Amino acid sequence: MGDVTRTPTNLTQGSQTRGGIGESTLRPDGTLKATGEFAYSSDLWHEDMLWGHTLRSPYAHAEIRSIDISEALQQAGVYAVLTYEDLPTEVKNYGLEIQDTPVLAHGRVRHHGEPVALVAADHPETARRAAAKIKVEYAELPVVTDEASATAPDAPLLHPGRDDHHSGHVTHPNIVHRQPIVRGDAEAARTRADVIVSGEYEVGMQDQAFLGPESGLAVPAEDGGVDLYIATQWLHSDLRQIAPVLGLPEEKVRMTLSGVGGAFGGREDLSMQIHACLLALRTGKPVKMVYNRFESFFGHVHRHPAKLWYEHGATRDGKLTHMKCRIVLDGGAYASASPAVVGNASSLSVGPYVIDDVEIEAIALYTNNPPCGAMRGFGAVQACFAYEAQMDRLAAELDLDPVEFRQLNAMSQGTVMPTGQPVDSPAPVAELLRRVKAMPLPPQKQWESAGESADVRALPGGLSNTTHGEGVVRGVGYAVGIKNVGFSEGFDDYSTARVRLEVVNGEPVATVHTAMAEVGQGGVTVHAQIARTELGVTQVTINPADTQVGSAGSTSASRQTYVTGGAVKNSCEAVREKVLEIGRRKFSTYHPAWATAELLLEGGKVVTDGGEVLADLVDVLEDAAIDLELEWRHRPTEPFDLHTGQGQGHVQYSFAAHRAVVEVDTELGLVKVIELACAQDVGKALNPLSVVGQIQGGTTQGLGLAVMEEIVVDPKTSRVRNPSFTDYLIPTILDTPTIPVDVLELADDHAPYGLRGIGEAPTLSSTPAVVAAIRQATGLALARVPVRPEHITGT
């Protein structure tokens, strides 16, 4: 893991309780997932259930002339076939922020794979065969593929007549959202620059590539409602979108989280939730839907591909003078999270550097490409690739060490962001760079072994045995990034936690109930640790997440440990005070310390702050049960000004730095990443083992974007060309390098326990670090990711 620097954090209640905050408590689902015994949502079963299937459009843009379902309905085993005309209410669209996504296509389709019809049958293959018998007459339309075709005077309007809260400030209806940021005078500052570099950069469309495809089970209820068991990231957001389409009050759509096989933003939007419920309510039977991997590529949003133009200036002594940039994000056919991605891309486009004079513009487009939305580090990932490439180019122009150049311009606590917001918590950018540079480098030519043989697994090309070391060159690259934590721009970001404390079989037991989606990040483990710390108990039960408790928001934006962890802490503190109130009433008459001392719960006992044991917690509670459900909010944010971009838009920032060591076969263009060292400030490591796992996971996703992962979309038809893990490559264990992690803990005084959201930051800087290392090895500019062999060989 590398060195771990820890700063003191005020942990008073239950600090001696085993399994509390700061310990590497093992996850309860870890062994089950490692052995394949964990129950995912695709494992759900109901005795008399039907199977649902979705018919999807083979075209990216087409008019729907007619739909004939008669032959599909005649197939034995088919219970229902639904089209747009069968939707039960006037609400026929949904969406995270802008309700522009049809439940089923009507009139025309806007992207390859858009849902057109639904089938419910007694067997999944029967449903698929029936769907193939649905006859849809399409008339293809011209496709919108990029900014030029989206904003041309004669461009087809993908959402004619749109009227949403972003439509009034964009220059063309095919622009989802635009956010400028202007601070200082970039043009005037430009005259002070001794060196100016500009560049155009491109980031490909990345898939979340989660383990478990979309799946769920909808069960019709006797009260006319429906129970939905689903893998998702945000139960209450799903509920808000589902209920109006079904024509049901929210209390009749009961949702329970089922086993989630990863998410990374791809489950923030709806996939089959409404479809399964519609089929269940139509047939009166439980309906299960499970996407195969091919369908999953069409069933969720992806990372926005981006084109970025940057200009930086610097003085001869290495101080940055100004920055200008323009970022164009391809949002695809529907809005999804595009407005928030634009906000992040623009407000974080400067990176973790001090630049007083900036001129920034970011936009997201409507096109006929696949819809894009949330993916780990959204907006910030694309910007980081570009601004870190610029830092390397400036350092080279100035003949300065690239790490020292970054440190010279690194932000720190008190730095004012381009939005005018001061950074009011530790921002140890220079220190993270120092730490990651100081890590020992891996030995040269690791593939060499005894005799003349070579361990080809350590070489570019791996087991393909393309080289034994000839033509292989090493490169080292650095990068650092900044990511916001939590929902921003005035969003009411809160969470709810219900905590119950009672005596069960003679032992105090705490029960924690939240709607937090456990998607693999380990939140359920942390919630138990918080309850043990705050209530001083050993036994903690975590109830399944559902909509019978208040919203926990989305498991995204690195926010859950901060916000839902904060809610659990808040509720535990309130429960603790109730316990102590009961104790004071019971015992203060004959034990004066109860009336005057600072009392703690520790190890199942009530103790004074001096360690004197006053009573067993069991004796205080007796038959009483304390049950409280409370909301918790972090400090408020505000929207960015639509003209200047100024505003207190973010809650917290996180920082990570990487050093990549690569070896490149320059003749074949093959890359082997040997090591990706990371240094990251986490504020407080609530569970150090999980923290390192999160950092290593995010680092690996950044590696994938750097050298292999891209959804390839045909530029003429906007059809997806590689919707499978055969053709869409993700890192395997053979591609994943050594990832040493140096964890720095500088507490944020505004956050629970001083913690800092960590999951996304390492995804930012790992990608540009890898590409910087490839550039050093090859001498090539490499302005696009992923880097392909032909980019290196020129063939």
The residue to which tokens 């002070």 are assigned: 192
User: Residue 1's beta-bridge partner residues?
Assistant: none
* 13 within a domain of the structure (yes/no): no
* 9 within a domain of the structure (yes/no): no
Domain boundary (355, 380, 405) is at 380
* 418 within a domain of the structure (yes/no): no
* 292 within a domain of the structure (yes/no): yes
CA distance 554 to 135: 38
Domain boundary (279, 299, 319) is at 299
Same domain, 127 and 46: yes
CA angle 496, 501, 502 (to 5 degrees): 150
Query: Taking the CA of residue 69 as centre, how many other CA atoms within 13 Å lie in the half-sphere pointing to its CB?
Result: 18
Quickly count: other Cβ atoms within 10 Å of residue 74's Cβ.
Answer: 10
How is residue 558 written in tokens?
A: 């690195």
Domain boundary (633, 667, 687) is at 633
Quickly count: other Cβ atoms within 10 Å of residue 138's Cβ.
Answer: 17
Same domain, 457 and 603: no
Residue 38 exposed, middle or buried by CB count within 10 Å (0-12, 13-18, 19+): middle
CB 501 within 8 A of CB 568: no
Same domain, 580 and 654: no
The residue to which tokens 């696949």 are assigned: 370
Same domain, 107 and 222: yes
CA distance 479 to 388: 6
Phi, psi for 477 (deg, rounded to 5): -140, 155
Query: Taking the CA of residue 76 as centre, how many other CA atoms within 13 Å lie in the half-sphere pointing to its CB?
Result: 0
* 148 within a domain of the structure (yes/no): no
Q: What is the pLDDT of residue 453?
A: 65
The packing angle between helices 380-398 and 761-778, to 10°, is 40
How is residue 744 written in tokens?
A: 């720095």
Same domain, 163 and 125: no
Assessment of whether the complete model's pTM goes beyond 0.85: yes
Same domain, 122 and 169: no
Q: What is the pLDDT of residue 5?
A: 40
CA-closest candidate to residue 484, choices 475, 476, 493 = 493
Same domain, 99 and 229: yes
Same domain, 575 and 669: no
CA distance 225 to 203: 44
The domain in which residue 529 lies consists of: 30-38+494-633
User: Alpha helices of 307-462 — where are they, by DSSP H?
Assistant: 338-347, 380-398, 402-409, 429-438
* 709 within a domain of the structure (yes/no): yes
Same domain, 51 and 120: yes
CATH (domain of 248) = 3.90.1170.50
Per-block mean pLDDT, blocks of 10 residues, the chain (795 long): 38 61 92 94 96 98 98 98 97 96 97 98 98 98 97 95 91 97 97 98 98 97 97 98 98 98 96 98 98 97 98 98 98 98 98 98 98 97 98 98 98 97 97 98 81 76 86 96 97 97 95 97 96 95 97 96 98 96 85 82 88 89 93 95 97 97 95 97 96 97 98 97 96 95 97 96 98 97 97 92
CB 608 within 8 A of CB 593: yes
DSSP secondary structure code for residue 729 in this structure: -
DSSP secondary structure code for residue 85 in this structure: G
Single-letter residue type at 625? A
Same domain, 513 and 615: yes
Query: Taking the CA of residue 14 as centre, how many other CA atoms within 13 Å lie in the half-sphere pointing to its CB?
Result: 27
CATH (domain of 777) = 3.30.365.10
Cβ neighbors of 184 (< 8 A, separation 6 or more) are: 322, 356, 357, 358
Single-letter residue type at 278? L
Q: What is the pLDDT of residue 9?
A: 37
Q: What is the pLDDT of residue 463?
A: 85
Cβ neighbors of 506 (< 8 A, separation 6 or more) are: 618
The residue to which tokens 């409507």 are assigned: 366
**How many structural domains compose the chain?**
4
Same domain, 718 and 782: yes
The residue to which tokens 């999953």 are assigned: 296
* 401 within a domain of the structure (yes/no): no
Same domain, 528 and 604: yes
* 489 within a domain of the structure (yes/no): no
Q: What is the pLDDT of residue 457?
A: 85
CA distance 497 to 569: 9
Q: What is the pLDDT of residue 468?
A: 84
The CA distances from residue 582 to 498, 499, 538, 578, 644, in Å, are: 20, 17, 21, 6, 55
Three-class SS string for 189-251?
HHCCCCEEEEEEEEECCCCCCCCCCCEEEEEECCCCCEEEEECCCCHHHHHHHHHHHHCCCHH
The CA distances from residue 793 to 392, 665, 780, in Å, are: 22, 9, 10
